Copies of this chain bind each other. A is one copy, B any other.
Amino acid sequence: MDQIDTDLTRDEDDTDAYALDRKSVAAILYAVDIQDQDKLTELMEPLHAADIADLLEQINPYDRARLIRLYDREFDGDILSELDESIREEVMAVLRPDVLAEAVRELDSDDVVDLLEDLEEPQQEAILEVLEDADRVAVEQSLSYPENSAGRLMQREVVMAPEHWTVGQAIDFMRNSEDLPEQFYHVVLVDPRLHPIGNVTLGKIMGARRETLLTDLMEETFQIIPADQDEEDVAYAFNQYHLISAPVVDEEGRLVGVITIDDAMVVLDEEHEEDILRLAGVGEGSLSDTVVETAKQRLPWLAVNLLTAILASLVIAIFDQTISRFVALAVLMPIVASMGGNAGTQSLTVAVRALATRDLTGSNLWRVLRREVLVGLGNGLIFAVVMGVVGLAWFGSPELGLVIAAAMVVNLVVAGLAGAGIPVLLDKIGVDPALASGTFVTTVTDVVGFFAFLGLAAITLL
């Protein structure tokens, strides 16, 4: 027992190189228990805002409220930004109004936008009021762009320079500038109508002589992002072209902001989370949701599954006479359906993922479909032989072996076709394939599996 305990501890130390370890969480909660504010502040001091947010997400609501009240004035705006949306409102309700106001005022405009977009109107108003005039205008302008658009994601603070400037002029301008953004990596060159024409990295400016023209240093890869572009496309562009920052333009093509790679990385992460959860039939869920919230999120997906399961049962019911004469059919039929469901899930996951990364396009659609069907045929034949032998050995009936073998081939071919085809069709008609493919594909493989197996059995065995 001792042995095992040691192993588990070692494993935890090893993999959680950055995460909060159990001991510090316990120490923090103890400080909260004994209401020792100094001790709490001391323990929280080395933690990054992202870690504090994780901590708040992991503990229960009662401890959360007590910790926040005791931490009080130390509470940082960045912690709010890092918090999962599901408990952000709860945390903001616990914070004293003046602490909340101070926390929000510290944030960059894009972080305030991120904070505000999930709040109700009256709470939005309350927070906008505490901002300085310039910040409030910037935030309101960003909020005027559609949800999940580049306009919401960008920061308004941009360092730009006229296209005819030299390195020396740019350096002098920046050195004399009162408020450069906290983080920036490029100077955006613009023409007189404020249209961006290129990016120059700060590294290139650093390495060049003062008299060098900025236009001679422009990056080869340059992507301009329309403010109303979907953030998913923005993340794709950053990932595909290894962008570090990209200018955002309004409808007239004028520079209005800049998006940096760290924001794109967050979006990419969220998109993945969404895909993975949707594929499993889990809605928006978060780990800090309550039992009732979680049950509600999952209920619709289970309800849809129930309908498709009943559909499959109706197929079985057609053959109830056959089953009551050959009970071996009832024993074997879930195998055919299960293998089809699994093969279909394999094909659909590859297709959904390839659609998301834009690797599956008009150019290779038919080749991919053909491949999936042939893979289904190949593996179908292999498992047909296996199950034919199992069927024969178990129930001593060569006919039964042949029937399950044939049904296996049919179902695995159909699984390949449906698994690759259904996501593509859903994508074409504008439905997220991650969301709906699973249900359709397993319905197809269940129905086809039961129908092929029981139908062939009815013909052959009766």
Residues of A within 8 A of B (CB): 8, 11-12, 15-20, 22, 25, 48, 50-51, 54, 57-60, 159, 171, 174-175, 177, 180-185, 201-203, 205-209, 221, 223, 229, 233, 236-242, 244, 261-262, 264-266, 268-269, 272-273, 275-277, 279-282, 285, 287, 290-292, 294-295, 298-299, 301-303, 305-306, 308-310, 312-313, 316-317, 320, 323-324, 327-335, 337-339, 342-343, 345-346, 348-350, 353-354, 357-364, 367-368, 371, 374-375, 378-379, 382-383, 386-387, 390, 428, 430, 446, 450
Using Cβ atoms and an 8 Å threshold, which residues of chain B touch A15? 233
A434 CB, nearest partner CB in chain B, Å: 9
Q: Do A280 and B346 form a contact, CB below 8 Å, given A233-B18, A291-B371? A: yes
Contact of A238 among B25, B185, B201, B265 (CB under 8 A): B265
Q: How far is the CA of A363 from the CA of B57 in the complex (A)?
A: 10
Are A295 and B375 in contact, CB atoms less than 8 angstroms apart? yes
* A338 (CB) vs chain B CBs: closest residue: B309
Q: Enumerate chain B residues within 8 angstroms of A174, measured Cβ to Cβ.
A: 206-207
Selected contact of A346 from candidates B298, B331, B354, B360, CB within 8 Å: B298
Contact between chains at B358 and A331 (CB < 8 Å) = no
Judging by beta carbons under 8 Å apart, are A237 and B331 in contact?
no
* 18 sample A-B contacts, Cβ–Cβ < 8 Å, listed by A number: A8-B428, A25-B363, A59-B363, A59-B364, A60-B367, A202-B206, A239-B265, A265-B268, A275-B276, A279-B279, A295-B379, A302-B379, A305-B342, A306-B383, A310-B390, A312-B335, A320-B328, A324-B324
Contact, CB under 8 Å: B282 / A349: yes
Please determine whether B361 and A335 come into contact, CB atoms closer than 8 angstroms.
no
Q: How far is A184 from B205 in the complex, measured between Cα atoms in Å? A: 11
B244 engages A11 (CB within 8 Å): no
Report the separation of the CA atoms of residues A304 and B250 in the bound assembly, to the nearest whole angstrom: 54
Whether A330 contacts B335 by the Cβ 8 Å rule is no
Contact between A312 and B334 (Cβ–Cβ < 8 Å)?
yes
Q: Are A22 and B362 in contact (CB under 8 A)?
A: yes
Report the separation of the CA atoms of residues A76 and B8 in the bound assembly, to the nearest whole angstrom: 48
Cα-based distance from A127 to B306 in the complex (angstroms): 57
Q: Which residues of B contact A223 (CB under 8 A)?
A: 18
Complex Cα gap A269–B265 (Å): 9
Contact A310 B323 (CB under 8 A): no
Name, among A25, A207, A357, A371, the residue most crowded by chain B CB atoms within 10 Å (CB to CB): A207
Q: A330 contacts B353, CB within 8 Å? A: no
- How far is A50 from B19 in the complex, measured between Cα atoms in Å? 34
Expressed in whole angstroms, the minimum distance between the Cβ of A273 and any Cβ of chain B is: 7
By a CB distance below 8 angstroms, the chain B residues around A316 are: 330-331, 334
A394 to chain B, nearest CB (A): 8
Asked if A203 and B181 sit within 8 Å, CB to CB, the answer is yes
Complexed CA–CA distance, A285 and B346 (Å)? 10
Q: Is A309 touching B287 in the complex (CB atoms < 8 A)?
A: no
Query: A58 with B363: in contact, given A272-B272, A383-B306 (CB under 8 Å)?
Result: yes
A58 cross-chain contacts in B, Cβ below 8 A: 359, 361, 363-364
Is there an interface contact between B233 and A17, defined as CB atoms closer than 8 Å?
yes
- CB < 8 Å neighbour of A244 from B183, B205, B207: B183
Q: A203-B184, A221-B48, A349-B280 are in contact. Are A54 and B371 (CB under 8 A)?
A: no
Residue of B nearest to A233 (CB): B17
